[in-house]
Structure 1
Amino acid sequence: MKKSEGKRIAQALGRNKAAILRNHGILTVGHSVDEAAWWYIRLEDTAKAQLLAEAVGKPVLIDNHITLKIQQRGGTHQAGWGGFQYLWDEITHDQPDLFDRLGIGHCLSSLSFSSPFSIPTPNFFRRINYAS
């Protein structure tokens, strides 16, 4: 990607978290890679739900005041980061050798994963004990 194209995309994004790029797919951003990944997953799931709804008829729109409440509660940077932590824990628990199979396990061993937030992260974002 050319630098000028990146600047145009950044300008078009403004303060938004996502864009749909014609002929390229979706793009999401966040204060961390974890957050951006979470918004990507959520946008993809939302797009699938939209297509399914349109396939069976005319979707009923949600009132704007309800969508704003949902956004205020679940659209924060911390919520995006925290949503991905749960997914990360699930992936690494269910497939502990995934990164070795991909040939990148050695890259991850030196990384430190922690919250980019200065406030304490709620405990429900991290699931520590798994049932055997």
Structure 2
Amino acid sequence: MLAAVNLKETVSAAEWQARCDLAALYRLIAHYRMTDLIDTHISIRVPDEPNHFLINRYGVMFEHMKASDLVKIDHDGQVVAAYDQGKNVNVAGFVIHSAIHHARPDIHCVIHTHTADGMAVSAQAHGLLPLTQHALKFYQCLSYHQYEGIALSLDERERLVQDLGNTKAMILRNHGLLAAGNSVADAFYTIYFLERACQAQIKATSSGSELVYPDAAVCEFTAQQFQAEETPQYLQMVWDAAVSLIAHQQSDYCS
């Protein structure tokens, strides 16, 4: 396996930047406590290589992830570069992420989590409720996928893609959350809001108090407001602010 300094000199500048961005994203997911030991996964499409994407080396904790830990694989789950040989990949991660990257060329980054609140909402028959402003971001633009067991079967990929449709956020029933975006910033913003919406829902529904719901017109209007606000410039500003939280780690994760 090549040392990090040699890897940076071996790959393109675009791939190295993608590796640094993805390593930073793994660490931010850890920062916001959305990890599950060595499980769950995040992927990013390799710039200028539409059939290849980067995913974590299985066994590395998210808070320790480095650019050189990431693995470039194809849609068949094969490691495609000599410099990544010897790095293991989570099979379930490959199944879920390869399905979406292959079917949705507009998707650049995919995040999958197993948080306690995300799993709790995934087990509730009504799914995500329009209880909070955070939840209204996903009003009528959130999909669901029925649980089929641990995602090890390639046959499940087609059903995952069908259920995702043209949305960028999905609740995997009895499992967890999934967020996708056309950039790292977009995907991070989406998983952050989806996770916060689930956290609020579990607290509200467990309180025993009567719940108040906005009317349908307000829900729809708020969802449209979110869509108008989420410009590439705004999402980049959110991402830059989040990355500043781990700026002191940059020399480590970008290595």
TM bucket by the smaller chain? 0.5 to 0.7
Q: Give the deviation of 1:17 after TM superposition.
A: 2.3
Map 1:39-78 to 2 at 5 A: 39-56=190-207, 57-75=209-227
Secondary structure at the counterpart of residue 26 of structure 1: strand
Map 1:15-54 to 2 at 5 A: 15-54=166-205
**Structure 1 CA distance for aligned equivalents of residues 234 and 193 of structure 2:** 10
Q: Give the deviation of 1:100 after TM superposition.
A: 2.6
Q: Percent identity?
A: 28
TM-score normalized with structure 1 length:
0.64
Divergent runs of 4+, >3 A: 80-84
**Structure 2 CA distance for aligned equivalents of residues 96 and 12 of structure 1:** 37
Specify the alignment match of 2:162 in structure 1: 11
The alpha-carbon distance between structure 1 residues 34 and 3, as it changes in their structure 2 partners (threshold 3 A), is farther
Task: Give a deviation string over 1:60-104, Cα, whole Å, max 9, x none.
Answer: 11111111111111135x707455423322233343222333xx3
The alpha-carbon distance between structure 1 residues 4 and 75, as it changes in their structure 2 partners (threshold 3 A), is farther
Cα RMSD after superposing both structures: 2.3
Q: Give the deviation of 1:58 after TM superposition.
A: 3.1
Return the letter of the residue paired with 1:43: L
**Structure 2 CA distance for aligned equivalents of residues 98 and 22 of structure 1:** 35
Specify the alignment match of 1:95 in structure 2: 246
Structure 2: segments with no counterpart, 5+ residues: 1-94, 96-152
Length, aligned pairs only: 103
Return the letter of the residue paired with 2:185: D
Return the letter of the residue paired with 1:32: S
The alpha-carbon distance between structure 1 residues 94 and 44, as it changes in their structure 2 partners (threshold 3 A), is closer
The alpha-carbon distance between structure 1 residues 15 and 34, as it changes in their structure 2 partners (threshold 3 A), is same
**Structure 2 CA distance for aligned equivalents of residues 23 and 44 of structure 1:** 15
Return the letter of the residue paired with 2:210: K
Task: Give a deviation string over 1:36-55, Cα, whole Å, max 9, x none.
Answer: 22111100000111111112
Secondary structure at the counterpart of residue 230 of structure 2: helix
Contact 1:36 / 1:80 at 8 angstroms: preserved in 2? no
Structure 1: segments with no counterpart, 5+ residues: 107-132
Larger helix share, 1 or 2: 1
The alpha-carbon distance between structure 1 residues 26 and 82, as it changes in their structure 2 partners (threshold 3 A), is farther
The alpha-carbon distance between structure 1 residues 37 and 75, as it changes in their structure 2 partners (threshold 3 A), is same
TM-score normalized with structure 2 length:
0.36
